Structure 1
Amino acid sequence: MKTLSKLIASGFYSGYLPKAPGTWGTLSFIFVWLLLENFSNFNQCAVIVSTIAIGFVSTQICLNSFKHKARNGKIDPSYIVIDEWAGMAISLINVPSTNPELILIAFLLFRVFDVTKIWPIVLFEKLPGSAGIMLDDIVAGIFSALIVNLILL
């Protein structure tokens, strides 16, 4: 169970890539999303909900199973990037896979919101456990999706 949770929480080990694991994790999700969108029964809402649900569970299992050093009183291992997957899934709501420019805009907006942690995103980051790890990226994804969908109008 620990190994499976680590596999999922790390975005199929993309979170272990050197330098900027959050960016690598986000990029790996875009690749997965583009693959999934080729299936005729692709359901964006199902992908988002399942990524979030699996993300909360796998992140909490990793936090419980592995020893992590708290940094500034917060535990957020850099290899856990399933939160980036959830945020990016939200960022890509309604974005057609045939529009690489809009995919790039969604990616850049999400990374800016995720890295800068503007208010109110920063409030969610302070929550304990998997909630703090997941919810700040989910809110960053919502901010990104709002802007991207305004562009689509």
Structure 2
Amino acid sequence: MNMPPSFCSNPIHLLALGFGSGLAPKAPGTFGTLVAIPFFWLLSHLSIEMYLVALLIAILAGIWLCGKTSRDMGAHDHPSIVWDEFCGYWITMFATPASWSWIIIGFLLFRLFDIWKPYPVSWLDKNVQGGLGIMVDDMAAGLMAWIVIQGLQILF
């Protein structure tokens, strides 16, 4: 889909497209997740409670802005919409140290679950529509990756 240049000048679309990272010609979800990493690093300096508040705001805003961008594009969950990857990665990294090793492990785990889409991620992806549908499968993938990364932290 060719988007007019003015499309990204809309701040709602700019966020939904991950500051343009979703426009990568290949693997936009992976590029979106990569762009989410510096934002995680900033979030990691917050208390656990404030991280959760920021995450909740990002998720609630994401439901709306992904839904609006999807409607404006005329395509449900267009690959260029990557705010859901941002939030999914931030879920994965909740209460995880901001060291490069954990950042990379979190990135790999989140991308694994987001691409693989094991149940219930696949069910959510197929059966929930609108902005919530765009967000919820990545939130579930993030939660699954979070469970694994928390287990790894206990072991290592």
Category of TM-score, reference length = shorter chain: 0.7 to 0.9
When the two structures are superposed, what TM-score results if normalisation uses the length of structure 1?
0.87
CA distance in 2, matches of 1:131, 1:140: 14
Quote the Cα distance in structure 2 between the aligned partners of 1:21 and 1:27.
10
How far the C-alpha of 1:18 sits from its partner, in A, is 2.4
Where does structure 1 differ by over 6 angstroms across 4 or more consecutive aligned residues? 39-42
Aligned partners of 2:67 and 2:130 also within 8 Å: yes
Corresponding position: 1:34 with 2:41: yes
> Which position in structure 2 is the counterpart of 1:105?
105
Tell me what 1:72 maps to. Answer: none
The alpha carbon displacement at 1:41 in A equals 9.8
CA RMSD of aligned residues (A): 1.9
Residue number in structure 1 paired with 2:31: 24
Give the corresponding residue for 1:121.
121
Give the SS at the match of 1:119.
coil
Partner of 2:147: 146
- Measure, in 1, the Cα distance between the counterparts of 2:97 and 2:50: 13
The gaps in structure 2 that reach 5 residues or longer are: 1-6
* Matching residue of 2:59: 52
- For the residues of structure 2 that align with 1:35 and 1:12, how far apart are their CA atoms? 16
Higher helix share: 2
Aligned length: 145
* Structure 2: distance between partners of 1:21 and 1:83: 12
TM-score, reference length from structure 2 = 0.85
TM-superposed deviation, 1:64? 2.2
**Aligned pair in 2 of structure 1 residues 145, 65: CA closer, same or farther (>3 Å)?**
same
Shift of 1:124: 0.5
Structure 1 unaligned regions, length at least 5? 69-74
Per-residue CA deviation, residues 29-71 of structure 1 (Å, 9 max, x unaligned), is 1111113434689921122111111110101111222333xxx
Q: Residues 12 and 59 (structure 1 numbering): CA distance in 2 closer, same or farther, change over 3 Å? A: same
